[in-house]
Amino acid sequence: MHRRLSRSTVPESTLLSVAPPTATGIVHLGLGNFHRAHQAVYTATAAAGESHPWGILGVASRSATTARAMSEQDLLYSVVTISPDDERVSVPAVHTGALVAAYDPGAVIGAIGDAGTRIVTITVSENGYHYSAETGSLDLDSDAIRHDLANPAQPLTTIGHIAYGLALRADTHGAPVTVVSCDNLLANGRRTERLVREFIGALPDARRDRTLEWLDARATFPNSMVDRIVPASTDDHRAAAERRLGVHDAATVVAEPFSAWVLEDSFLAGRPAWERAGAVFTDDVEPYEMMKLRLLNGTHSLIAYLGALDGRATIPDAVAQPYIANAASAVLRLDYLPTVKVPDSVDIDSYTRDLFGRWSNTALGHRTSQVGSDGSVKLGQRVPAPALHHLAGGDLPHHLALTVAAYLCCVAPPPGFDPGPHARAMVDPAARQLGELSANTTSIPRFVRSIFESGRLFPRELAAHEPFVDRVAALADLIVRHGPAQACADADRA
């Protein structure tokens, strides 16, 4: 039996903050790998060995696996920073509790509503926000939001948890709080605020008015740009952690060496000195978010879909194929870059070079199926606005069309087309609906048109641009008949 990671077995040299937190100041929603390799590391590093009141209560949405493993290890876990020529381990030691929202929604509302909580951070992925791609508003017709409005004591969604937690603050002590979305959504703070307000706006009158009025003065929602590639952990990663720690860690996460966090500094009740850990505070996060969402995430999606269709399990394997690297470079330089205002502090050539270096991290083994999952919610943040930008100027963004075509071939393959095991492993909330549409339409062009006209993935405005819709269909047809390399060659020639 291996010895397990705990307060008594953790090698002291690996601890990022030696003194445990003195209080819980942060409730974090979404106890996944990304949070544990990003905000938790910044918070532990910011403490710089001193006692601090910024302990994090981690809340997993549904799965108990991580919360249970952490609870059995005195809430510790390791972060293995990994690249082909280096491997380091550290233990953030900053959590003060771990809950599962699905089992204990009341405790989550209570924690957000607690006067000691000064910050609520969120990483629930694009899929956790329940907004309509068409309008950007809270999807009040979805089953989950309807359930939450009718069940104030047992909400299922993150927006429900936050709204009821804030209402509790308004009803009781009224202490201020700051809610920070750390998900890959453009203007993520503004969007979260809008969705929370729309939820509260649908509550019964007295509670609605009191909470909305309280929100105006006592809650802020800064925008933030987060960046670190953090894949799902594998047995190899756990073995690497054990080699470095000398004890077994059932909750290890791996991450690339690179990490960035840019935030607006509008914290109403204090914050950790995250700048000590390299976070950047600025009045205008949007250029950073847009650059990262389009150049990194947008290009990442294309690499994932082409890679999966090419039979590649990982992003580094995919980007090692010259035709996929070419397509990635084309979508980045021709389609995304002209739509982005590059922040003054960024040297775009080295940023781009670094991106290709980061995607080539073979030790990380980031899977194409992971990046390709949830495309129906991710692509809406990455493709439509830049596509509309080019179309308004009379240009056809061929590699954005290729991104959508490759996505559809992976997740809603036309009848008779097998996209391969890595595409089949992609999980997507719209997969069933898109699959039914695909099975019931007689041709790829009709299927593609119906997707654009449905407003299900992208704002319907894009459907009016027929040359773009036709180009997506033509490229999907090429993928199905001749494979992804031919489709890339065609996009390049255009």
Binding residue for ligand CS2, selected from 229, 250, 253, 487, defined by CB under 6 A: 229
- Least Å from the CB of residue 33 to ligand CS2: 10
Is the CB of 80 or the CB of 229 nearer to ligand CS2? 229
- Least Å from the CB of residue 10 to ligand CS2: 27
Closest CA to 399 of 310, 317, 260, 294: 294
Is the CB of 71 or the CB of 83 nearer to ligand CS2? 83
Beta strands across the sheet bearing 219-220: 95-100, 55-60, 24-29, 119-122, 177-181, 219-220
Is the CB of 155 or the CB of 380 nearer to ligand CS2? 380
Site for ligand CS2 in 316-345 (CB under 6 A): none
Which one of the spans 8-16, 53-61, 323-331, 370-378 is the region binding ligand CS2 (CB under 6 A)?
Answer: 370-378
Nearest residue to ligand CS2 by CB is 300
One symbol per residue from 276 to 315: x for binding ligand CS2 (CB under 6 A), - otherwise; what is it? Answer: --------------------xx--x---------------
Give Cα separations from 393 to 60, 114, 215, 384, 388 (angstroms): 44, 51, 40, 14, 9
Please give the Cα distance from 281 to 328 (Å, whole number): 30
Q: Kindly tell me the burial class for residue 1, based on how many C-beta atoms sit within 10 Å of its own C-beta (0-12, 13-18, 19 or more).
A: exposed
Binding residue for ligand CS2, selected from 228, 238, 456, 471, defined by CB under 6 A: 228
One symbol per residue from 378 to 397: x for binding ligand CS2 (CB under 6 A), - otherwise; what is it? Answer: x-------------------
Please give the Cα distance from 197 to 190 (Å, whole number): 10
Binding residue for ligand CS2, selected from 215, 219, 371, 426, defined by CB under 6 A: 371
The label of the residue with tokens 């692509």 reads 379
Q: Please count the CA atoms within 13 angstroms of the CA of 232 that sit on its side-chain side.
A: 9
330: helix, strand or coil: helix
Please give the Cα distance from 98 to 194 (Å, whole number): 28
Report angle CA 309, 313, 314 to the nearest 5 degrees.
Answer: 110
Is the CB of 169 or the CB of 228 nearer to ligand CS2? 228
Binding residue for ligand CS2, selected from 148, 227, 264, 289, defined by CB under 6 A: 227
- Least Å from the CB of residue 453 to ligand CS2: 26
- Least Å from the CB of residue 70 to ligand CS2: 22
Backbone phi, psi, residue 427, to 5°: -105, 140
Closest CA to 431 of 445, 451, 460, 417: 451
Is the CB of 52 or the CB of 378 nearer to ligand CS2? 378
- Least Å from the CB of residue 378 to ligand CS2: 5
Which one of the spans 115-123, 140-148, 227-235, 441-449 is the region binding ligand CS2 (CB under 6 A)?
Answer: 227-235
Site for ligand CS2 in 160-219 (CB under 6 A): 184
Residues 309, 409 contacting (CB under 8 angstroms): yes
Binding flag, residue 428, ligand CS2 (CB under 6 A): no
Is the CB of 131 or the CB of 407 nearer to ligand CS2? 407
27: helix, strand or coil: strand
- Least Å from the CB of residue 228 to ligand CS2: 5
Backbone phi, psi, residue 263, to 5°: -135, 155
For the record, the structure tokens of 78 come out as: 């390791």
- Least Å from the CB of residue 296 to ligand CS2: 6
Which one of the spans 15-23, 211-219, 223-231, 471-479 is the region binding ligand CS2 (CB under 6 A)?
Answer: 223-231
Is the CB of 120 or the CB of 364 nearer to ligand CS2? 364
Is the CB of 33 or the CB of 73 nearer to ligand CS2? 33
Residues 23, 55 contacting (CB under 8 angstroms): yes
Which one of the spans 69-77, 80-88, 224-232, 444-452 is the region binding ligand CS2 (CB under 6 A)?
Answer: 224-232
Give Cα separations from 204 to 112, 138, 197, 200, 217 (angstroms): 21, 17, 13, 9, 21
One symbol per residue from 27 to 66: x for binding ligand CS2 (CB under 6 A), - otherwise; what is it? Answer: ----------------------------------------
- Tell me the pairing of strands 95-100 and 86-90: unpaired
Q: Where are the alpha helices (DSSP H) in 127-225?
A: 143-150, 158-171, 188-201, 205-218
Residue ranges that bind ligand CS2, judged by CB under 6 A:
184, 227-229, 296-297, 300, 370-371, 378
